[in-house]
Amino acid sequence: MAEYQVVTADTVNVMVTSNITQFPMQKRFQKSLTILALKNKLELVTGGSAATMRLSLYDKQDQFVCAMDSETALLGSFPVDEGMRLHVEDKTCKKGEFEDTSNIQKYELSDEQYNSKQDTLRAYLERTKQGKYDQAEMARLAAEKERKQREEEARAATITVGARCEVARPGQLATRGTVRFCGPTDFSTGIWVGIQCDEPVGKNDGSVNGRRYFECADKYGLMTRPASVTVGDFPERAIDADDDDDEM
């Protein structure tokens, strides 16, 4: 008669909980480990001490199975199976003791100390004249910003409230309407122009983020930059609505 053997896996996957850590952890262990060796591994997982911890096994229904007291016994000698829970109890530790970082002294450097170091990112950027330490590039960016601001102000000066206009919208037909507002806003920097559109292709009713800039029906209001607005004698016409990130 042929002989049959029951073959089980050499490892087992269990959920590890403890009275020390606040969160459960899924771990895989060799069944050939002694309970003492298992406790040594659990020191790294839970922060408890192998000398004072006690292990208990719970089944998949979270019912107590047995205590694992014999440190010379093998893990596989206990009825441990996939998905069971291994609970670590160490009375010498408080729950969350090793997870609370509120009392750990932070390492901080003063600006003077940081500036004196030569192996920092700031020191490298200073040596290589990159980023904000590139004075020529910073001057160019500042001049470009000032130029755009002057152009925006000059364009805004040609736009008067009550004028008919056309608003350029990338990828779609220009929107026509009447200028109802031109000036600074609370929602962004620079100058914005408020348009009452001829058709319901706008994005608001003349108010943005709770502040009203002009009055119009919902979806007839549009806030855009002066560069997109051309004032002139534009008759009304119907257009299709679409979105654009440079409009409010």
pLDDT tens digits, one per residue of 156-207: 999 999 999 999 988 888 999 999 999 999 999 999 999 999 999 999 999 9
Last residue of a domain, one of 66, 89, 112: 89
The answer to whether position 228 is within a domain reads: yes
78 and 154, same domain (yes or no): no
pLDDT value of residue 117: 83
Helix or strand run (H / E) with residue 232: none
Q: Which of 129, 45, 123 is nearest to 88 (CA)?
A: 45
Does residue 109 sit within a domain? no
**pLDDT score for 104:** 60
User: How does residue 244 score in pLDDT terms, banded at 50, 70 and 90?
Assistant: low
SS3 177: strand
Residues 155 and 240 grouped into a single domain: yes
Is 37 domain-assigned? yes
85: helix, strand or coil:
strand
Residue 134 lies in a domain: no
Which range, of 51-55, 105-109, 115-119, 153-157, averages the lowest pLDDT? 105-109
Mean residue pLDDT across the chain: 86
Count of Cβ atoms closer than 10 Å to residue 244 Cβ: 17
CATH number of residue 61's parent domain: 3.10.20.90
Parent domain of 43: 11-89
In a domain, 123, yes or no: no
CATH of the domain at 185: 2.30.30.190
pTM: 0.46
Give the residue, 121 or 204, on which the prediction is more confident: 204
Taking the C-alpha atoms of residue 163 and residue 195, their distance in angstroms, rounded to an integer, is 10
- Residue where one domain finishes, among candidates 89, 118, 137: 89
